[in-house]
Structure 1
Amino acid sequence: MEEEEKMSSAFSTAATVAKPVSFTTSLDLANPVGFLKKVFNFITEESDFPAKMNDSDVSKQIQQMVSFIRQEVEERANEIFVSTEEEFNIEKLQLVEAEKNKIMLEYEKQVEVRKKIEYSMQLNASKIKVLQAQDDVVNEMKESASKELLNVSRDQCVYKNLLRDVIVQSLVRLKEPAILLRCSKDDVHLVVSVLDSAKWEYASKVNVDPPKIFIDDVHLPLHLLTTTLMVFFCFGGIVLASQDGNIVCENTLDALLDVTFNKKLIEIRKWLFGQVGA
């Protein structure tokens, strides 16, 4: 009899214990209020533990649920924070690396451009030095040739024939019936000695009457000699002009040298330096 009473009492006690709660809805961080509503709806509608439990037990159960929710929220928030921080760090490193590569490429490009500019400047400077040295050689050669003109005017026989030739050449260019001739004071007697011969040779070439040639009272300046250098004004030769002075033909030795030198300059450079137009 006593055993039956104990079993009945145990069964009665077990009947008052709340059934296990079956709540499977997961926490939605995007809508925590909705989740809490579902929890309380489950407590009031689907579970029968409010009828089996007193207020203290209900309060404890709710407190446990709140603690669970808080823990779940904190864990999810921590996961999101860690994941976000990792993604941020990765993206930051990628951006930093990309910017470093960009800066490095730009720097390398600038270095390459600077090298090309410096190389071009050095190359141009070298070319200028070479050209300057070549010009110096050419000018020295011309100066040496100018000094040799003195020997031409000193040889009376050679110089007289040269004067005759340049007079004929000048007359052919001018083709004027009356000519004014200018020469140096020292060359007047040589010019007079070849003038008639030059006039008739010209007349024969172009089939005209011999022109009238007047020797100018104004003479060409002679070269000057100093102790340190030679300053040349005119090495010899003649200048012919039409009577009105509108047409002038300069056939001084200086002018002939300049014309010949400029005409043969490419050949001279090729002969000196082995290339044309250096």
Structure 2
Amino acid sequence: MALSNADVQKQIKHMMAFIEQEANEKAEEIDAKAEEEFNIEKGRLVQTQRLKIMEYYEKKEKQIEQQKKIQMSNLMNQARLKVLKARDDMIKDLLNEAQQRLANIAKDPTQYPTLLEGLVLQGFYQLLEPKVTIRCRKEDVALVQAAVKKNIPIYKGAVKSNIEVRIDENNFLSPNISGGVEVYNADGKIKVSNTLESRLDLIAQQMMPEIRVNLFGTNPNRKFMD
């Protein structure tokens, strides 16, 4: 039986409605899928950027911490150098004061001649040469002559050997020397420096550890004691 025009139109509308419904459902499905994929990608991008930001600030924090350590180390080294310089300056002042006192001793007629005798005799013993030359300050020539005269018998009795002594009156010690003598062998190649300054330097070197302990206390970082 042939369908009427009205029936055909009705079926066409029904089919169009079905197709439209399917299209809408498909579109909704596509939209939902797209929204899901968008959210997933958005979440991935956010997480990636978050990790990058965290990594960046962690790196910055480590750099700042390292810079702080370097700066602290530099400050500690600077402070340590300042302390060491202050200590060295104090020791220099102490030695300068000792040298000034030596100069005063050289001016003391009750102490200096005896001291000079000991320095001359010690020079003889250190060289143990048959001929020696003594160099002294110009103003000490007479005192050195007296010291030589007194010490030659003492030296001969101790070492059982003669000694010939010459005082060099052409070359005197520097005006900066407070006192004492320099004793040379015959050819002048061997010298014993028994000036007050050289004796002070020797004693200072020998006593420096003790001086530092007395001034600054025991070093806590020192493992071994002499």
In which range does the TM-score fall when normalised by the shorter chain?
A: 0.7 to 0.9
Alignment partner of 1:258 out of 187, 195, 201: 201
Work out the CA distance in 2 between the residues paired with 1:62 and 1:197.
147
Kindly state the Cα deviation for residue 235 of structure 1 after the two structures are TM-superposed: 0.3
Kindly state the Cα deviation for residue 61 of structure 1 after the two structures are TM-superposed: 7.8
Alignment partner of 2:58 out of 102, 105, 108: 105
Counterpart of 2:157?
Answer: 204
- Partner secondary structure for residue 156 of structure 1: coil
Work out the CA distance in 1 between the residues paired with 2:180 and 2:220.
31
Counterpart of 1:163?
Answer: 116
Letter in 1 for 2:34: F
What does residue range 144-223 of structure 1 map to in structure 2 within 5 Å? 144-205=97-158, 207-216=159-168, 217-222=170-175
Kindly state the Cα deviation for residue 200 of structure 1 after the two structures are TM-superposed: 3.1
CA distance 1:150–1:117, change in 2 (3 Å): same
What does residue range 49-88 of structure 1 map to in structure 2 within 5 Å? 67=20, 70-88=23-41
Counterpart of 1:249?
Answer: 192
Contact 1:179 1:214 in 2 (8 A): yes
Letter in 2 for 1:240: V
Work out the CA distance in 2 between the residues paired with 1:191 and 1:63.
140
Kindly state the Cα deviation for residue 244 of structure 1 after the two structures are TM-superposed: 1.7
Work out the CA distance in 2 between the residues paired with 1:242 and 1:110.
67
Work out the CA distance in 2 between the residues paired with 1:97 and 1:204.
97
Kindly state the Cα deviation for residue 88 of structure 1 after the two structures are TM-superposed: 1.1
Contact 1:178 1:211 in 2 (8 A): yes
**Structure 1 residue ranges without an equivalent (≥5):** 1-11, 17-52, 223-232
How big is each residue's C-alpha offset from its partner over 1:195-223, in whole Å with a ceiling of 9 and x where there is no partner? Answer: 13323333333x3412211111211122x
Counterpart of 2:224?
Answer: none
Counterpart of 1:237?
Answer: 180
How big is each residue's C-alpha offset from its partner over 1:148-190, in whole Å with a ceiling of 9 and x where there is no partner? Answer: 1122112224211111211222222222221111001111111
What does residue range 7-26 of structure 1 map to in structure 2 within 5 Å? none
Kindly state the Cα deviation for residue 60 of structure 1 after the two structures are TM-superposed: 7.1
TM-score for both structures, normalised by structure 2: 0.83
Counterpart of 1:91?
Answer: 44
Kindly state the Cα deviation for residue 87 of structure 1 after the two structures are TM-superposed: 0.7
2:77 pairs with 1:124: yes
How big is each residue's C-alpha offset from its partner over 1:51-110, in whole Å with a ceiling of 9 and x where there is no partner? Answer: xx98x8998787667656644543333222111110111111211221222122122212
Letter in 2 for 1:214: R
Which is higher, the Rg of structure 1 or of structure 2? 1
Contact 1:178 1:242 in 2 (8 A): yes
CA distance 1:175–1:60, change in 2 (3 Å): farther
Contact 1:239 1:248 in 2 (8 A): yes
Letter in 1 for 2:179: G
- Partner secondary structure for residue 212 of structure 2: helix
Kindly state the Cα deviation for residue 276 of structure 1 after the two structures are TM-superposed: 4.2
CA distance 1:141–1:213, change in 2 (3 Å): same
TM-score for both structures, normalised by structure 1: 0.69
**Structure 2 residue ranges without an equivalent (≥5):** 222-226
